[in-house]
Amino acid sequence: MSRAWLSIRRLSLQLTADRRRFAIFCGLLALGMLFWTRLIVIQDMPRVAMADPSENSAETSENNPVSNTTIAKRVVLLPEGPIRNPFQVNPNYYPLLEDIEESLDEDSKSEVLPTDIVRSALHSHRLEAVMGTVVVISGQTCRAGANVRDVTGGGHRIELAEVRDRSVVIRCGDVQCVLRLD
């Protein structure tokens, strides 16, 4: 190994041998990196040209002579804020709920059908466990063919029709629902 490599290795062992000295070294290194980064950023600042509105004189150059004509002023109106709000929801893709409700006619607004009530009562149940032929639905332990208590309180007679590997079929009248383990 070369002499420089040995001296670098010796310095690294001396720095890491004492925790306090190593912490001070790391802090000074971080501070040095911060100052070095600021120098790089300040050194490479973008160049900006600003017009001075109080300056009325026009300079002439060899390539572009300016005559003593008056310079026409052009007023450009800029918007006060951003032209487009990136956080605004596009109503073409996501219509507001009021717009959807207004688009429905009075004739199409009908009362909730009994099958919809039964279907929502079936979907409100949750399958928690399947252990062979025994299942746990919404905290109730039952087998195939048993009645399941209605958690919505609607008084529906819900029956456990079929037990599968990771799902069950519950039925209320003609309406069926498949519950799966999450």
So what's the pLDDT on residue 30? 92
130 in any annotated domain: yes
Helix (H, G, I), strand (E, B) or coil at 59: coil
pTM above threshold 0.85: no
The domain of 24 spans: 3-43
**What's the structural domain count of the chain?**
2
Alpha helix segments (H runs only) across 18-138: 19-43, 97-103, 114-123
In a structure prediction context, what are the per-residue pLDDT tens digits for the chain, which is 182 residues long? 688 889 988 888 887 888 888 899 899 999 998 888 777 766 656 566 566 666 555 554 455 555 556 677 888 887 777 677 777 777 777 766 655 555 554 445 455 557 888 888 888 888 999 988 899 998 889 998 999 888 887 788 899 999 988 899 999 888 888 999 87
141 in any annotated domain: yes
So what's the pLDDT on residue 106? 47
In the chain, DSSP assigns E strands to 127-131, 134-137, 140-143, 147-148, 158-163, 167-172, 175-180
97 in any annotated domain: no
Q: What is the per-residue DSSP string for 14-39?
A: HHHHSHHHHHHHHHHHHHHHHHHHHH
153 in any annotated domain: yes
